[in-house]
Structure 1
C-alpha cells in the first residue's frame, strides 16, 4: 500500500485492518509521524507533536493486538487533539501565550474516552487564541491545504487542516459559533456539532460555556459518527452533560425514505453567494433521489440573536478569563481582548435581554423541528474567504454577522448539526452545507450524512498526495 493510500484510509477500514493484523499500529503511527515531519513546516496544523508518546502508545496497542486482547473501536488509530483539551503531562495552551506553560495533571474526559477506545494521540492541533476568531499574532496560522491564501476555518483550524491533509485520521474540535462546521466546510470534511451537553466539556478550556460544543471532525460521516459514539455520554465530572450513558448511532445508511427534510429558500439565499445557492440546489436533488420528502418551512428570524452573539459570548469569556484579565492583558491578541472587553461592558440588564432573546429563538426552532426531521442550510454564505477578506470581517460587525448567520443560531439554541462537503467553487475551494436536527437526534444526522455520502463523492476529494 502506498503512503497516500495509507494516510487517507477511512477510520473504519484502518481499524479493521489492524484487527485483522494486516497492518500494525506502530507501522501506521510511524508513517503518520513521517508525513507530519514532511508537511507540517508548510501547513502549521500542529501546536505540538507527541512523537515519543505516540510511538510508545502504538507499541502498547500492537502488543494487545498480538495478545488477542479485546480491542476498542479506535484501537491503533492515530488521531489529533485540538489544543483546547487537557492532556495529562502534555502542555495545553489553547492557542494562547498566557497558557503556554500549563501542563494538566489529567486528560479531558473526551481524550480519556478516545484513549480507552484504543486511539493513538499524535499531538495537539493548533487553534485560534482561546478558541475565538483569530490566531494569536505570534503563532503561525494553519494553512488551508486546498489554497494557502484562503481561510482554514476559525478555531478548529488545525483540526481541519491536519485531517484534510492526511496528518491524522480524525480530530477533536469545538464549536461555539461555527468552529467545527467552518473548518469542515473550508477543508472538505465532515464535522458534527452535537446537541449541547451531549459530549462532556470537563477538561476543556472555555470560550463561552453555554455556547461551547465538543465534537468530531473526520473525512466522512461514518468516521465522524464512530468518533462521536466514543466520546458522547454522561460524565459525572460535567454536571451539564446529558443523562444518557450511551448514544446509539447507525453504522451505515441506505436511502432516506420517510425522512422529512425542511428548507427555507428565503433564509438560505439571503445574502448568499450564487455558487453556494447552486450547490444547495444540487443537494436537494440528491436528497429527493434518496427518497426524502422535501418541505418548505419558514425559519424564525435569527438576526437579533446573531447580532447579540458577541455580547453573549463576551460575558462568558470574560468570566472564563477572570484569573488572567486584566493582569495579563498585554499578552492577549487584539480579537480576544476585544471580546473580553465587550463582556465587561455588557450590563446585567442587557445580558438578561440577550438570554431572553436566545431562549425565544430556541423555542421557535423547536416548533419548526416538530414538522421536519432535518433542516438543510448553508454553513456560510460564501466559500472560505481570503486572509485579506477575513481581516475585513473581523473589523466589521455587519460582515461578521453575515459570516455566522447560519451557524451561531444553533450554538445559541443547542441543536445538533453536521457539516458535509457538497462541491467546489470555480477556484477549487470546497463548499459545505449542514443538516440540523432536533435536540438529541444525532442518529438522524448520521443516517442522513452517511446516505448522502453513499450517493456522492465530494468527501473523497483530497487536497494533497
Structure 2
C-alpha cells in the first residue's frame, strides 16, 4: 500500500501497513510528528505533543511485533486524546487556565486501555473550557480545516481538527450535548457516542457526569469500531459502567443491511431544516433502501421541552463539578463557563426534579419506540456548518443553542448510542452529516448500518482541501 498522503489514510489502512511490514510504527510516528510540527502551528489542535514518549511507544510496538506479539488493529498506530483524559505523563488542563498545570496521579481508564491495545499516543488535544461551548479567552480556537471561516463545533475541537487535518489517525472526544457529533459534522468525520456507561469515565474531567459520554472520532465507522472495542467495558473504578459483555464490533463490519428496520420521523428530521441537510438525509434513506433495508415511519417521543432544559440540567451538574474552584477562583474562568456555573448555583431542587422527570419520560418512550425498529436516522444539525460570522450573530439569539441541540441533546439525556457520519457537502463545499441512533447497547447495529452506508458512498473518504 502506498504511503502517499499517509496522513489522510484511515486508521485501519495504516494499521495494515504497519502490521504487514510496509512501514514501521516508528516511521509512521515520525511522519506524523513531523507533520504536526509543520502544520499544527496553523491549527493549534494540540495543547501538548508528547513526541519523545510517542517515539518510545512506537519503538516498543515494533519490537513486540518483531517477536510475534500482536495486540490488535491499533498496535503501533498513532492517535491522540482530548485534554480532559487524565495522563500521568502530561498535564490535563480540560481547556481551562485554572487546571493548566494539573498532573494526575493516574491515567484515565480509556487511556490505559488504548495503550494496552498498543496505540501510540501523540499528545493531548485542545478543547473548549471545561468541555462547554467556547474556548477560554486565553486559549486559541482551532480553525476548521475545511474552511477557517466556518465553525469547528464544540467541545472536542482539537479532536475534530487534528483527525480531519491528518494530524492523528483517530482521537477520543467527549459528548455531553453534542461534542463528539458537532466536530465530526463540521470536519467530515465519523464518531461514536456510545451508550452511557458503555465506556468508563474514570479519570475524565467532568462537565455534567450523568450526560458525559466518551467515544472515538475517526475517518470511518470501521475505524471507530476498533477504537470502541479497545475502550468499552466494565471498569471497577467507575461504578456507572455497565457490567455486560462487549461484543466484537468488527464482526458487524461488511455485513448487509437487507431486512434491517431503519426508522425515520420525517417531521422531526425535515421540518424547519435547511434544504441541503434535508436533501442529504433523503438521499441517505435511498441508499439504505437500495441495499434492502426497510424504512419505517416512527414518531420520536416529545422532546422539545426536554431539550429546553439541557442548559439548566448541564449547569446544575457543572456547578457540582467545579465546586472546589468556583466561585473561589471565578476570575480565572472564561465568561461562558462562569455564566453556566452561576446558573447552576441558583437553580432549585424543583428545577432539577422537573428536568429529571422529563428525561425519564423521554427515555422510557424512546425505548418503546425502538421495539419497532433497529435504529433511526436523523440529521446531526438542522443547518449546514455555520460560518463564524453567523455564529457570532446567533450568539445574540437565546433560542439558537436549543435549535442546535435539537438532534443531539435528546440522546445525551437518554444515554442512547449514536454514530455520526458525513452524508454530503453543502452549497459552500462544507461537509454535511447525519446520525444513526440506536437502542441501549445497540452499537454493533449502528456500526453495521454506518459501515454499509460508507461502503456504498464515498463522503467519508474526502479530506479537507489541504496537502
Unaligned runs of at least 5 residues, structure 2: none
* 3-state SS of 2:87 partner: coil
The answer to whether the Cα contact below 8 Å between 1:253 and 1:448 also exists between their aligned partners in 2 is no
Partner in structure 1 of residue 88 of structure 2: 88
The answer to whether the Cα contact below 8 Å between 1:89 and 1:105 also exists between their aligned partners in 2 is no
- Map residues 119-268 of structure 1 onto 2, 5 A cutoff: 119-251=119-251, 252-268=253-269
* 1:14-55 CA-partner distances (Å, limit 9, x unpaired): 222222222101100000001111110111111111111111
**TM-score, normalised via structure 2 length:** 0.98
Q: CA deviation at 1:232?
A: 0.2
The answer to whether the Cα contact below 8 Å between 1:279 and 1:423 also exists between their aligned partners in 2 is yes
* 3-state SS of 2:191 partner: strand
The answer to whether the Cα contact below 8 Å between 1:263 and 1:377 also exists between their aligned partners in 2 is yes
Partner in structure 1 of residue 114 of structure 2: 114
Give distance in 1, aligned partners of 2:367 and 2:71. Answer: 40
Give distance in 1, aligned partners of 2:293 and 2:31. Answer: 42
* 3-state SS of 1:400 partner: helix
Q: CA deviation at 1:4?
A: 4.5
Distance change (3 Å), C-alpha of 1:15 and 1:2: closer
The answer to whether the Cα contact below 8 Å between 1:422 and 1:432 also exists between their aligned partners in 2 is yes
Partner in structure 1 of residue 328 of structure 2: 327
Partner in structure 1 of residue 381 of structure 2: 380
The answer to whether the Cα contact below 8 Å between 1:436 and 1:445 also exists between their aligned partners in 2 is yes
Give distance in 2, aligned partners of 1:113 and 1:278. Answer: 40
Give distance in 1, aligned partners of 2:302 and 2:329. Answer: 39
What is the RMSD of the two structures over their aligned residues, measured on CA atoms? 1.2
Partner in structure 1 of residue 54 of structure 2: 54
Give distance in 2, aligned partners of 1:2 and 1:253. Answer: 24
Partner in structure 1 of residue 452 of structure 2: 451
Partner in structure 1 of residue 370 of structure 2: 369
* 3-state SS of 1:250 partner: helix
Give distance in 2, aligned partners of 1:23 and 1:241. Answer: 37
Q: CA deviation at 1:387?
A: 1.8
Q: CA deviation at 1:2?
A: 6.5
* 1:329-376 CA-partner distances (Å, limit 9, x unpaired): 011111111110110111011111110011111111112111111110
Q: CA deviation at 1:201?
A: 0.2
Partner in structure 1 of residue 417 of structure 2: 416
* 3-state SS of 2:250 partner: coil
Q: CA deviation at 1:103?
A: 0.8
Partner in structure 2 of residue 67 of structure 1: 67
Distance change (3 Å), C-alpha of 1:4 and 1:335: farther
Q: CA deviation at 1:160?
A: 0.6
* 3-state SS of 1:354 partner: helix
- Map residues 298-377 of structure 1 onto 2, 5 A cutoff: 298-377=299-378
Give distance in 2, aligned partners of 1:411 and 1:334. Answer: 24
Q: Return structure 1 stretches of 4+ with deviation > 6 angstroms.
A: none
* 3-state SS of 2:200 partner: coil
The answer to whether the Cα contact below 8 Å between 1:233 and 1:247 also exists between their aligned partners in 2 is no
- Map residues 428-443 of structure 1 onto 2, 5 A cutoff: 428-443=429-444
Q: CA deviation at 1:71?
A: 2.7
Give distance in 2, aligned partners of 1:216 and 1:196. Answer: 14
Give distance in 1, aligned partners of 2:381 and 2:198. Answer: 24
Q: How many residues align?
A: 465
Q: CA deviation at 1:245?
A: 4.2
Give distance in 2, aligned partners of 1:197 and 1:393. Answer: 34
Q: CA deviation at 1:384?
A: 1.4
* 1:218-251 CA-partner distances (Å, limit 9, x unpaired): 0000000110011000000000000024233134
The answer to whether the Cα contact below 8 Å between 1:21 and 1:65 also exists between their aligned partners in 2 is no
* 1:51-80 CA-partner distances (Å, limit 9, x unpaired): 111111111111112222233331100001
Give distance in 2, aligned partners of 1:6 and 1:196. Answer: 34
The answer to whether the Cα contact below 8 Å between 1:195 and 1:439 also exists between their aligned partners in 2 is yes
* 1:242-281 CA-partner distances (Å, limit 9, x unpaired): 0024233134224211110111111112221111001111
The answer to whether the Cα contact below 8 Å between 1:78 and 1:168 also exists between their aligned partners in 2 is yes
Q: CA deviation at 1:3?
A: 5.8
Unaligned runs of at least 5 residues, structure 1: none
Give distance in 2, aligned partners of 1:109 and 1:193. Answer: 17
The answer to whether the Cα contact below 8 Å between 1:377 and 1:434 also exists between their aligned partners in 2 is yes
Distance change (3 Å), C-alpha of 1:273 and 1:427: same
Partner in structure 2 of residue 24 of structure 1: 24
